[in-house]
Amino acid sequence: MRQGLPDDDTVRAALALATRAPSVHNSQPWQWKVGDRTVHLYADRELQLPAIDPEGRDLLLSCGAALHHLRVGLAALGWHSRVHRMPNPAEPQHLAAVELARHEPTFDEISLASAIPRRRTDRRRFSSWEVPPSRVGELAEHAAAEGAVLIGVTDPMARYRLIEAIGEAARLHDDDPAYQVELAQWTGRDEDTQGVPARSAVAPVHVPGEPDPRRFRDPRLPQPEGSSAEPDASVLLVLATASDDTMSQFRAGEAMSEVLLAATHAGLANCPLSEPLEIGSTRDIVRSEVLGDSAYPQLILRVGWAAVNADPLPATPRRPLSEVVHGLGD
């Protein structure tokens, strides 16, 4: 980049943090271009999963999370991001142009950045320790800072309907051959730099009153010993927006990243649940019967305290920067 802007090593470090963002089935559907003054984010539509994500909603969430990870990483490294989202209507895959200016990192920014390499998607059952409402309130404040609302599903009937929607989506996907083929292609991939490794997926165990995990191919992650003997006190949260256009879905990805990093920093285990929002009928159930038609659901999150004897989760693989970053050091 030009004089007065971050050097290549700084930009590379920030992009390495950005690529740690969660994405649908670890598809990492993004490309970055580094210019003289700006960093550009593009959606990689070749990595959209047509059966799992037919509308591209998960892709936009994933790219929004990557943009937020970049912003957090740059802030901790001393650079403020001025983001122009979807700057060129004639080029819809150009999702963001990021301008940079000198910045003094805050404690909160450094804390969020430090959570990036520690964040994991934990699909196991959580402990019986309750999450204090104050913690949920703090996460809701983080979501609001990114233009979204985070709603704790505490009403018994709303929680029941949400769990029913999660189960119905799984049943519909079970009957969809194209979905099953695509799921097999993107899961159980321990040796690849994309996809969900077998070591990160748990075998489905149905527990009444709890959401079923998504069914992955060849799951090898064991549940914590003794976890079946006590209830899982995790909280179900719905991340929602006031509208449902592509900008809202993209911004919801930034809010998702903010909430997941804040939860990680607070010591909370977390797991995004996108399956019921990938199907129109179950997404409508969540909007009408869980949110009361007050907002558009973009993601469901399960948050709780990991079991004491839960083994640390390994990091999922990522593609090398050389595959997703262009113009850096050329």
Superfamily holding 133-304? NADH Oxidase (3.40.109.10)
3-state secondary structure 56-124: CHHHHHHHHHHHHHHHHHHHHCCEEEEEEECCCCCCCCEEEEEEEEECCCCHHHHHHHHHHHHCCCCCC
Per-residue pLDDT of the chain (330 residues), as tens digits, is 777 789 999 999 999 999 999 999 999 999 999 999 999 999 999 999 999 999 999 999 999 999 999 999 999 999 999 999 999 999 999 999 999 999 999 999 999 999 999 999 999 999 999 999 999 999 999 999 999 999 999 999 999 999 999 999 999 999 999 999 999 999 988 788 999 999 999 987 788 889 988 889 899 999 998 777 789 999 999 999 999 999 999 999 999 999 999 999 999 999 999 999 999 999 999 999 999 999 999 999 999 999 999 999 999 999 999 999 999 875
Q: Which fold has domain 8-118+316-325?
A: NADH Oxidase (3.40.109)
Stretch(es) of the chain classified as CATH 3.40.109.10: 8-118+316-325, 133-304
149-152: strand order across its sheet = 149-152, 235-241, 296-304, 269-273
Calculate the CA 189 to chain-centre distance.
19
pTM of the model: 0.96
